[in-house]
Structure 1
Amino acid sequence: MRTPPRSATWWVLPVVLAACAPPAGSPPVRAGAPAAASPGGGAAPKVSDAGGKTAIAGPEASRVTFAHLGRQPPLGARLPRGVQYAPGGKLVTYLQRQPDGPEQALFAFDTASRETRQLVASGDLLKESKPLSREEELRRERQRMFSRGITAYSWAKRAAVMLIPFGGDIFLRDAAGAIARLTSTPEPEIDPQVCDGGERVVFVRGRELFMIDVASRRETALTRGAPEGVSRGLTDFNGQEEFDEPSGFWISPGCDRVAYLEVDEREVERVPVFGVRDGKEDLQMVRYPRVGGKNPRVRAGVLDLATRKTTWLAWKGGQEERYLGRFAWADGGKALWFQTLSRDQKRLALLRANPRSGEAAEVVVETSPTWADFGEMRPLERSPRFLWATAAGGHRHLAVRDADTGAELAKLTAGDWDITALAAPDEERGEARFVATKDGPTERHLYTVPLAGGEVKRITAEPGVHFVTVEPKGPGYVDVHSALGRPWEAVVRGEGSAELGAMPAPVDPELADLGLRAPEIVQVRAESGDTLYGALLAPRTIEPGRRYPVVVSVYGGPGVQTVYNSWSPLLLWNHLADRGVVVFQLDNRGSANRGRAFEAPIYGRLGEVELADQIAGLEFLKTLPYVDAGRVGIYGHSYGGRMALSALLKAPDRFHVGVAGSPATDDRLYDTGYTERYMGLLDQAAARYEATDLSKHAGNLRGKLLLLHGLMDENVHVAHTAKMIEALMAADKRFDMVVFPGERHGYRSPVASHFANRTIVEYLTEHL
């Protein structure tokens, strides 16, 4: 469970679990019963003799096989990822999975010749891949990174030099295409970053900061002597998992200073994470900031690369318990911006620091009766102003503020919609650029607005979801977009959105013969009067007078949206629908990108409002003549696992079969950064926390329950499921359980992925 992702390169990736909305302005679509089978369908579901109910067909009824469901990497579109503009803007580079294997390689689109070529493959760096270090494994888990091969790279801003971390070492590609290996060490280099001029590389090794001079290959230790439990240049668990802060250091534009975090976790609870891999026990003691317990002590400093001395930042109230994040250099390195959140996350402050003296002062302060999120801030280079986007007014909107006083100079956007990502401004043309929901909650488009204020203009034309990477100092952008029934396209555009060419975004050829269908959008009225957006995939063939069972695919947690107008193969959904199952998904209140009034009802009572809205979704389904409301299954993972479990225990008359993957069963067992944001501090809200303990409802279980959990889950610890098991046994309730001995929160191995998908489908279809 985590907050929405933030990307330094503005590669905006919504969590596309369902693609499900009509073009903006279309009326809501009410799912109707198809009259006949669509081309490419499998065998029709068998009809039973009991009350018009329809038996679920066997797996042979779908062309989507269990082998398709368990593929790693998952079948879908080979999208360009990690899109970046090279210095000068001539090349647009990106990562993409190769057609003949699971590994990603690095490619480039030339805006002049309009040709695409491969720049670097993993075999160009190392002939044999090395196993991931424990540190890198956990970083990838925090970033939800499932890719293999080359997974990251970065350009120097002022030089045609590209840094590529791979196999725990650092590689550099120069303007001529030559690749140099900068490190070859037993211990991995973590989070390497290249200076703007390309002359130095800074990284973390063994909890300390190091630097390499590219020309001489000379390595220098920048910090020394960190005791066990203390790190320099790394973020802690909360920073990576809950605040989307993958880095713990930031190099100044002139490469003469490095701002960094020192994290002291010595007082943070140590929790054992135990598993078995290849028949061998694997025990790891992790620092885990559990609700009500100690957080790490974190301070920020600025390291002078010439003197190797650190100046620690200080400001009024700086000793209070808080979270630090969103560091950004400005004014040519003369200013350092950062943000703080109070421990209870009700007070957000934006601060400006003098990197020489370390003195910092609050420039903007915002408070909330529920919770505040880190804002998005972009310094302007041509004037002492900055762009600031937060949800202080109820929706996430954009303003221009004075860099010295923080005073708001102009509101640039307003309305019942949200900015979901703020891009680099085009100061040459005097425009701010951003992606937003202005044309509907299930849409994502690129917009511009004059920095002086004025009309908001939509730039992307086609309906749907647009992942956009803008040219940092120019009018161009890369637009990767899709919509319901329209697979992904990747277009490079220049001045005036003129098309310069296309990058490949092919769909895996195995999908062509599967007869895949897209879900329909539905709108559901919550008991609060709010409109909820859902996705519905009906069985391929529906016979008049027959009723079909339902499977609800659920996430339901805060900070995430699952219903979008974008393309996804939805293989598991299609498999179930081909066999005669109605598949449904709903974004309940509390989900992201609908404004604070839509999110806030969950505060202090996680799981209550969400379940009420999911029940409202079932009430909607009951109005459809082909739905059998007496046979409802539900499945989900993480917060979705919590929701599936909650549905079976708190609404057993409505939900009859459930699969709960890695569920959080008691908020007192989860981490501070996530849980205290939505529940408050434990010592001030003990009764509210007590109410989230699902084990108290174990005696209500009447349906069939399957629990899934990875033993090595260091996010939602297996203790959550263990507590539930104890309560179910005490209540003398039968349930089923599958444990993945070597898996963490995400089931990464091909064997585990295949087994999990097959088990979910078989359990639901057997018991509905």
Structure 2
Amino acid sequence: MDDFFVNGTFRTKGVYGIRSMNDGAHYTVLANNGTQIVKYSYKTGQPVETLVDLKTIENSPVKYISNYTFNNDESRILISTNVNPIYRHSYTADYYIYDFKNKELKPLSENGSQRLATFSPDGLRIAFMRDNNLFIHDLRFGTERQITFDGKYNHIINGAPDWVYEEEFSFNKAFEWAPDGSALAFIRFDESAVKEFPMNMFEGQAPALKENELYPSVYSYKYPKAGEANSLVSVHVYDIQDKTTMTMDIGEEQDIYIPRIRWTQDPKKLAIIRLNRLQNKMEILLANARTGKSNILYREENKYYIAESNFDNLVFPEDGQHFIITSEKNGYMHIYLYDMAGHEKKAITSGNYDIADFYGYNPATKTFYFSSYEESPLEKYVYSVDSKGQKKKLTPNKGWNNATFSKTYQYYINTFSNIDTPPVISLYNAKNKLVRVLEDNQQAQETIKGYAIAPKEFIQIPAADGKTMLNAWIMKPLDFDPNKKYPLLITQYSGPNSQQVKNSWGGVNWLNYLAQEGYAVACIDPRGTAARGEEFRKCTYMQLGKLESDDMIAAAKWLAEKPFIDKQNIGIWGWSYGGFMSSLCIMKGNDIFTTAIAVAPVTHYKFYDSIYTERYMRTPKENEKGYEENAPLNWADKLKGNLLLCHGTADDNVHVQNTYELAERLVQANKQFDMGIYTNRNHSIYGGNTSRQLYEKFVKYLNEHMKK
């Protein structure tokens, strides 16, 4: 266990922080513990020059660089340091401006830490947020102008999303510069009516909050639960010259979402994505930035819901005549090209497969770049397709591929792995020729060869409907003897559009340790998971947990019939959605599962946030049956086996309330169970010795209850 949690024995290396420069022939990286920014040649891989070296700047106020961005003409660079995380994507930082011409490093502001500092496209200004208000720094005069004044914690946020938007729409910046720098568009969140969720913060350790030694503090933040009030959102455009703010028309309906705003190529036209509360109707509004008037450019409705992954794929190419979008409107996720009148010009991709990532469009060659599951749901490859429909597969290696392209698409970095191969990171040119391997993880491969590690075998298991075949893998115990019987642990996540079973490197982890200790381990993707089209992905709509738990129970029974499985000792474990599933399965499937570990589980979806829950379940008022029938809370009296519940008390995502309420139901049903509560830990439950202790608890629990 120390190999995983103390020594990092099987850790693989990545290639991080590569930033393409404007010319597409060079890139920059952070070097020497964040004290330098060095320019490299893609072609040779050799350093060309050191652009920033903190050690050569006299009395530099910056000791290390956390992150950086160039302005459009690369004459200045914005550096962040002293980063303090807020939630999953958000943080505060101290920003500094470095001017290449005069070699000066200056603070962006003297008035406290900032958020989201962003150069204007013309390079003359920087917009940033502080204390829920927006500010503009003028680089020519060194002045700072506040442009919103009503920002207030837990009430009004200008230019950044609230907690639930950040978590479930996956973004942290809610302002955008016009393409010519003439205006700043932003979303305003009024969360005054959203109810607060309080969390006690104790002294704890690693880190210790000394001020809470005797009396815990209370951290309270706005968290809209399913069916409860959300933030009221509005969209505004601040005109730089006039110093006036115009409100955009987003319609009369207030109970809506604005998950993204995007400028078109026209600095007078702002695109606004409007989503209804049920998330099954999406419209792109085209707003006149000067008058605020808007019209509908694009409308899409779905009998289930619109996938949130589409929002970042809205692109307005340089020609100003088109926009690109992704959609599942034909039953699979594909890329489409529209004109600015809202008419579909053509489907860029098509077929009975999902695209996974849309990497971008090269206007010089009129080429689109994307990845897809065309060959298999278990494998992902990168492709290009030109305006004539000529498609090329860019990644030949069988397995899982991701790509990062340079700004001019002259080069791309491919990260490849498969179930037996740790990540290999390679650089290719536009002609798809290998330039060089950046990281082959040879050392990790050599380390792994020195250990006896159980291999994973891909298998298919019938779903509960008896027709659908589910993708799965199984690890048999080391020194496997087909005449012996072994305890089985099922590992899973099972959430909507998630994927655990794929031909990619999953690392060597505690599950391999279990195989070494005489367990069979299986991983199953039930119905509702990714890469198999919309109907497979969305069949759990309005009934989260039902089909997934049915499938896990059916899979466990199918595996129990294998001659090498000890059917008296079948366990299931999972974290978050996986914890929801494992806690439900031990009770609903009490005739097959004997042991379960549920970490940070949702135990009733009425406790979870509005955006995620209602996307799949609608509101509790509209779908009482769906909420109640599949809630672990309501199955507590059916527990027969062994259940371990683990949760962090400072989990801002899945509140510890979920575990406490399930524990109380189990107590009142006179059911014995076990619990691990982790002081001040968030949804990931780590810090100090926490991970080591947590996983040792898992292993000890399984050994006590599943090894006879």
TM-score (norm 1): 0.83
Q: 1:181–1:511: structure 2 CA closer, same or farther, 3 Å change rule?
A: farther
Give the match's secondary structure for 1:255.
coil
Quick one: distance in 2 between partners of 1:200 and 1:75?
Answer: 46
Does the 8 A contact of 2:108 with 2:137 survive in 1? Answer: no
Displacement of 1:444 after TM fit? 1.7
Q: 1:106–1:574: structure 2 CA closer, same or farther, 3 Å change rule?
A: farther
Does the 8 A contact of 1:589 with 1:602 survive in 2? Answer: yes
Displacement of 1:160 after TM fit? 4.9
Amino acid at match of 2:685: Y
Quick one: distance in 1 between partners of 2:443 and 2:246?
Answer: 52
Displacement of 1:683 after TM fit? 2.0
Displacement of 1:172 after TM fit? 3.8
Does the 8 A contact of 1:269 with 1:288 survive in 2? Answer: yes
Amino acid at match of 2:551: D
Cα deviations by residue, 1:643-672 (Å, 9 ceiling, x for unpaired)? 110111110121111111110001111111
**Equivalent position of 1:111 in the other structure:** 42
The reply to whether residue 381 of structure 1 matches residue 381 of structure 2 is no
Give the alignment partner of residue 550 of structure 1, picking from 483, 488, 492.
488
Amino acid at match of 1:367: E
Amino acid at match of 1:111: Y
Give the match's secondary structure for 1:154.
strand
The reply to whether residue 321 of structure 1 matches residue 246 of structure 2 is no
Cα deviations by residue, 1:141-179 (Å, 9 ceiling, x for unpaired)? xxxxxxxx8654333333254333221201345558957
Does the 8 A contact of 2:412 with 2:430 survive in 1? Answer: no
**Equivalent position of 2:129 in the other structure:** 204
> For residues 116-515 of structure 1, what are the structure 2 equivalents within 5 Å?
152-167=67-82, 168-175=93-100, 180-183=105-108, 187-227=112-152, 229-276=155-202, 277=204, 278=208, 280=212, 281-315=216-250, 317-374=251-308, 375=310, 376-382=313-319, 384-403=321-340, 405-452=341-388, 454-504=389-439, 506=441, 511-512=447-448, 513-515=450-452
Cα deviations by residue, 1:380-423 (Å, 9 ceiling, x for unpaired)? 212501212111211111111111x2111112221121112212
Displacement of 1:568 after TM fit? 2.8
Quick one: distance in 2 between partners of 1:89 and 1:177?
Answer: 25
Does the 8 A contact of 1:78 with 1:508 survive in 2? Answer: no
Cα deviations by residue, 1:561-586 (Å, 9 ceiling, x for unpaired)? 12221113231111111111111111
Give the alignment partner of residue 670 of structure 1, picking from 571, 595, 608.
608
Quick one: distance in 2 between partners of 1:457 and 1:546?
Answer: 49
Q: 1:71–1:392: structure 2 CA closer, same or farther, 3 Å change rule?
A: farther
Q: 1:756–1:215: structure 2 CA closer, same or farther, 3 Å change rule?
A: farther
Q: 1:205–1:518: structure 2 CA closer, same or farther, 3 Å change rule?
A: farther
Displacement of 1:312 after TM fit? 1.2
Quick one: distance in 2 between partners of 1:162 and 1:588?
Answer: 47
Quick one: distance in 2 between partners of 1:613 and 1:483?
Answer: 26
Quick one: distance in 1 between partners of 2:99 and 2:372?
Answer: 37
Amino acid at match of 2:413: V
The reply to whether residue 525 of structure 1 matches residue 462 of structure 2 is yes
Displacement of 1:360 after TM fit? 1.8
Cα deviations by residue, 1:52-110 (Å, 9 ceiling, x for unpaired)? xxxxxxxxxxxxxx2233249895222123543112113234579x9xx9x99966542
Q: 1:630–1:535: structure 2 CA closer, same or farther, 3 Å change rule?
A: same
**Equivalent position of 1:56 in the other structure:** none
Does the 8 A contact of 2:400 with 2:504 survive in 1? Answer: yes
Give the match's secondary structure for 1:544.
coil
Amino acid at match of 1:721: T
The reply to whether residue 738 of structure 1 matches residue 672 of structure 2 is no
Displacement of 1:465 after TM fit? 1.5
> For residues 620-631 of structure 1, what are the structure 2 equivalents within 5 Å?
620-631=558-569
Amino acid at match of 1:667: Y
Does the 8 A contact of 2:179 with 2:265 survive in 1? Answer: no
Quick one: distance in 1 between partners of 2:379 and 2:102?
Answer: 39
Does the 8 A contact of 1:667 with 1:692 survive in 2? Answer: no
Quick one: distance in 1 between partners of 2:672 and 2:241?
Answer: 66
User: Which is further off, 753-762 or 720-729?
Assistant: 753-762
Q: Which runs of 5+ in 2 are unaligned?
A: 83-92
Quick one: distance in 1 between partners of 2:102 and 2:499?
Answer: 41
Q: 1:508–1:502: structure 2 CA closer, same or farther, 3 Å change rule?
A: closer
Give the match's secondary structure for 2:357.
strand
Quick one: distance in 2 between partners of 1:165 and 1:275?
Answer: 28
Give the match's secondary structure for 2:621.
helix
**Equivalent position of 1:143 in the other structure:** none
Q: 1:585–1:715: structure 2 CA closer, same or farther, 3 Å change rule?
A: same
Does the 8 A contact of 2:422 with 2:507 survive in 1? Answer: no
How many residue pairs were aligned? 678
Displacement of 1:371 after TM fit? 1.2
Quick one: distance in 1 between partners of 2:568 and 2:52?
Answer: 55
Amino acid at match of 2:187: L
Does the 8 A contact of 2:35 with 2:53 survive in 1? Answer: yes
Amino acid at match of 1:110: S
Displacement of 1:266 after TM fit? 0.4
Give the match's secondary structure for 1:757.
helix
Give the match's secondary structure for 1:715.
coil
Q: Which runs of 5+ in 1 are unaligned?
A: 1-65, 131-148
Displacement of 1:552 after TM fit? 1.2
> For residues 510-589 of structure 1, what are the structure 2 equivalents within 5 Å?
511-512=447-448, 513-528=450-465, 529-589=467-527
**Equivalent position of 1:681 in the other structure:** 619
Does the 8 A contact of 2:580 with 2:602 survive in 1? Answer: yes
**Equivalent position of 1:89 in the other structure:** 24
Does the 8 A contact of 2:337 with 2:347 survive in 1? Answer: yes
Does the 8 A contact of 1:71 with 1:753 survive in 2? Answer: no
Give the match's secondary structure for 2:361.
coil
User: Which is further off, 231-240 or 173-182?
Assistant: 173-182
Quick one: distance in 1 between partners of 2:104 and 2:559?
Answer: 58
Give the match's secondary structure for 1:761.
helix
**Equivalent position of 1:650 in the other structure:** 588
Displacement of 1:635 after TM fit? 1.3
TM-score (norm 2): 0.89
Displacement of 1:508 after TM fit? 6.9
Give the match's secondary structure for 1:310.
strand
Coordinate RMSD, CA, aligned:
2.8
**Equivalent position of 1:138 in the other structure:** none
Does the 8 A contact of 1:78 with 1:507 survive in 2? Answer: no
Does the 8 A contact of 1:335 with 1:355 survive in 2? Answer: yes
Does the 8 A contact of 1:559 with 1:590 survive in 2? Answer: yes
The reply to whether residue 594 of structure 1 matches residue 516 of structure 2 is no
Give the match's secondary structure for 2:693.
helix
Identity of aligned residues (%): 26
Does the 8 A contact of 1:109 with 1:503 survive in 2? Answer: no
Displacement of 1:369 after TM fit? 1.8
Give the match's secondary structure for 1:423.
strand
Which structure would you say has the larger RCO, counting Cα contacts within 8 Å and 6 or more residues apart? 1
Quick one: distance in 1 between partners of 2:72 and 2:252?
Answer: 33
Q: 1:471–1:676: structure 2 CA closer, same or farther, 3 Å change rule?
A: same
Q: 1:435–1:657: structure 2 CA closer, same or farther, 3 Å change rule?
A: same
